[in-house]
Amino acid sequence: MSTAVKRACDACHRRKVKCDGLQPCRNCDVSQLECTFNAVPQKKGPKGSRAKVISELRENQTRAQVQNRNAAINESTSIRTLEPTPGLLTGDMIKSCIHFYFAHIYSAMPILSPAQLAQSHIIDNMYFDNDMYCMLTALCAFITMQPGMVLPGMGAPTDDPYDQDMGACMVTSSSFLNETERVRKNYEYTQKPTLNTICTSYLLFACYYGLGMHPRAWFYLREATTLAHLEGLGKEDTYANMDPVDALRARRLYWLLFVAERYVPAVQPFTPEANCHFTQSLRVAG
DNA sequence: TTATTCGGAAATTAAAAACA
DNA sequence: GTTTTTAATTTCCGAATAAT
């Protein structure tokens, strides 16, 4: 390799080509450029304390390691949090809510089938069926906020809707509500909606309506209605090929949505009484 | 085919640190 | 003080790209 010149001219420096150091240099001569040395060379060598640079690098590396670790933790957490939470929805809770539903709600909201929910494998398989899991969590969220509902393992209900048990019910209901929405992000429920998908949207509407969160409630009502139309529940032909039990559910669900969009009062502040009023208004409309 | 550009390896240089 | 280490800067090789 040829030795480097002491200093390359401005043009050779800019062009990153070897300068022969002559005046003018061969490159400038061939290119018919003025061969100049106007650039002021920078001072070479470290500036300031080297120890400072090393400690700064160490600090940066440590910071990067911490950030990477936090990112890894966040990533694993975000993946985990979209899965159903083991143990949150117990068999006892589901059975209690289903019992309460058929005893007090079914007459006003007959969108679930007693025969279908009586099958024991539903609870056993719910962790493998996001649609069913979300429908059950939404159902439990709605039922546990109903006045008179007693959580499994708690005492008899009182007449005071603001007592401690009622508070526990609302906390439980809220956790089921969050669980439903969280797990729903885990799969594309709008791609192949089922009756349970539409029921879940409807139950979310009912929950948020009961909580006085009307914009969110109307969002879910509209979602349920849109999914129902996409599935053709507004056409009689759709029911011809359906299982008779599902057809009955679907027909009731469609008309319940129809009624809810037109007759449920638009704005009400949340109170337990308002929640009762909502359930009663469904009975009247039905 | 020739000319030009430019990424980056290697060389150069000087300041800071280590050592006697 | 001298030597070693480290880091900033420069030179220019050679691959990629553009121009003819």
User: pLDDT tens, A101-145?
Assistant: 988 888 888 888 888 887 777 777 788 888 889 999 999 999 988
Residue A198: its pLDDT value, please?
93
Cα A200 to Cα A221: distance, rounded to the nearest angstrom: 10
With bands split at pLDDT 50, 70 and 90, how would you rate the model's confidence at A197?
A: very high
Contact A231, A237 (CB under 8 A): no
Cα A38 to Cα A43: distance, rounded to the nearest angstrom: 16
User: pLDDT tens, A14-36?
Assistant: 899 999 888 888 888 888 888 88
> Which of the given ranges, A58-67, A80-89, A213-222, has the highest pLDDT on average?
A213-222
Residue A282: its pLDDT value, please?
54
Residue A190: its pLDDT value, please?
83
Amino acid at A61: Q
For residue A173, what are the contacts with CB-CB under 8 A and spacing of at least 6? Answer: A140, A141, A142, A144, A145, A207
Contact A64, A74 (CB under 8 A): no
> Which of the given ranges, A14-18, A84-88, A207-211, has the highest pLDDT on average?
A14-18
Gap from A6 CA to B3 C1', in Å? 26
With bands split at pLDDT 50, 70 and 90, how would you rate the model's confidence at A202?
A: very high
Cα A55 to Cα A2: distance, rounded to the nearest angstrom: 39
Contact A151, A217 (CB under 8 A): no
A181 pLDDT above the threshold of 70: yes
DSSP code for A145: T
Q: Where are the beta strands (DSSP E) in chain A?
A: none
Residue A95: its pLDDT value, please?
86
A31 touches strand B (CB under 7 A): yes
User: pLDDT tens, A137-158?
Assistant: 999 999 988 877 777 766 554 4
Cα A282 to Cα A264: distance, rounded to the nearest angstrom: 8
With bands split at pLDDT 50, 70 and 90, how would you rate the model's confidence at A199?
A: very high
- Pick out residues whose CB falls under 7 Å from strand C: A 1-5, 7-8, 12-13, 16-19, 39, 41-47, 50, 53-54, 57
Q: Which nucleotides of B are covered by protein (CB under 7 A)?
A: 4-8, 10-17
Would you say how long chain A is, in residues? 286
Contact A200, A184 (CB under 8 A): yes
A3 touches strand B (CB under 7 A): yes
Amino acid at A80: R
User: pLDDT tens, A231-272?
Assistant: 888 888 788 777 788 888 888 889 888 888 776 655 444 444
Say what percent of chain A tops pLDDT 70: 72
Residue A77: its pLDDT value, please?
56
What is the token pair recorded at A148? 């008179």
Give the burial string for A71-87 (b: 16+ CB within 10 Å, else e): eeeeeeeeeeeeebeee
Q: Where are the beta strands (DSSP E) in A81-199?
A: none
A17: nt with nearest C1' to CA = C12
Residues 48-67 of chain A: which lie with beta carbon within 7 Å of strand B?
A: 48-52
* Gyration radius from chain A CA atoms: 34
DSSP string, A184-195: HTTS-TTTS--H
Residue A267: its pLDDT value, please?
44
Q: Which of A202, A208, A219, A197 minimizes the C-alpha distance to A259?
A: A202
What is the token pair recorded at A286? 């039905």
Contact A151, A98 (CB under 8 A): no
Q: Which nucleotides of C are covered by protein (CB under 7 A)?
A: 6-14
Residue A136: its pLDDT value, please?
93
Gap from A1 CA to C3 C1', in Å? 29
A275 pLDDT above the threshold of 60: no
